[in-house]
């Protein structure tokens, strides 16, 4: 006959296994993957690279998640594409959190280009620096090889105005 302590020990062991697996699964996927569209000394704004359609719930048809991270790593630059893991999120728009873990996604220059996507996006964001709103989503970044031109589309999330930028490669 098994004792209560045997059952308690097994129950505790099962709880520990579920807890450890739960933590490892939670950390396996980043909370957001997107572009760094604004950066200060201590904070960075990451805008999701994919829009969500919220129109079925009465929302907008092109919604971009945006999160200000309070402890921006020194190695992250404006225009970088990053994946960020975080624990908690202060609900606002843009939301606020702190970086638990991050990864910079490689942005090598495509064939025929000297700029990377990061470089092209940074130049487009620099061209928008005098705009009253600095909250931009990145709709697209495309390189047209035969003209050596980058086409970058930014969307002001507040006015929903779209800005198209042609960034010419320097030869």
* Residues 6 or more apart in contact with residue 75 via CB below 8 angstroms: 104
> Does residue 11 surpass a pLDDT of 50?
no
Beta-bridge partner residues of 13: none
The model carries a pTM of: 0.77
Q: Which two tokens stand for residue 150?
A: 């980058």
Instruction: Answer yes or no: do 11 and 53 share one domain.
Output: no
Which CATH number goes with the domain that contains 44? 2.40.50.140
Which of 18-22, 87-91, 122-126, 130-134 has the lowest average pLDDT? 18-22
pLDDT of residue 17: 38
76: three-class secondary structure by DSSP: coil
Q: Which domain holds residue 4?
A: 1-27
Instruction: Answer yes or no: do 51 and 135 share one domain.
Output: yes
Instruction: Answer yes or no: do 72 and 12 share one domain.
Output: no
> For the chain, how many structural domains are there in total?
2
51 CA to centre of own chain: 11
> Does residue 43 surpass a pLDDT of 60?
yes
pLDDT of residue 22: 44
Instruction: Answer yes or no: do 92 and 108 share one domain.
Output: yes
Q: What is the DSSP letter of 11?
A: H
CA distance 54 to 102: 27
Which of 10-19, 79-88, 108-117, 161-170 has the lowest average pLDDT? 10-19
CA distance 108 to 157: 28
Instruction: Answer yes or no: do 56 and 10 share one domain.
Output: no
pLDDT of residue 149: 95
């Amino acid at each position: 006959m098994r004792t209560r302590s045997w059952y308690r020990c097994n129950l505790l062991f099962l709880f520990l296994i579920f807890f450890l697996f739960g933590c490892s699964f939670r950390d396996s996927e980043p909370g957001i993957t997107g572009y760094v569209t604004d950066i200060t000394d201590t904070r960075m704004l990451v805008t999701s690279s994919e829009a969500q359609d919220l129109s079925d719930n009465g929302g907008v048809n092109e919604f971009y998640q945006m999160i200000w991270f309070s402890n921006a790593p020194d190695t992250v630059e404006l225009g970088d594409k990053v994946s960020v893991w975080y624990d908690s999120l202060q609900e606002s728009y843009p939301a606020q959190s702190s970086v638990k873990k991050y990864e910079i996604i490689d942005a090598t220059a495509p064939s025929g280009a000297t700029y990377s996507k990061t470089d092209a996006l940074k130049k487009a964001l620099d061209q928008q620096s005098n705009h009253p709103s600095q909250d931009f989503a990145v709709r697209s970044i495309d390189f047209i090889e035969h003209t050596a031109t980058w086409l970058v589309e930014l969307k002001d999330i507040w006015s929903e105005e779209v800005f198209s930028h042609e960034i010419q490669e320097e030869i």
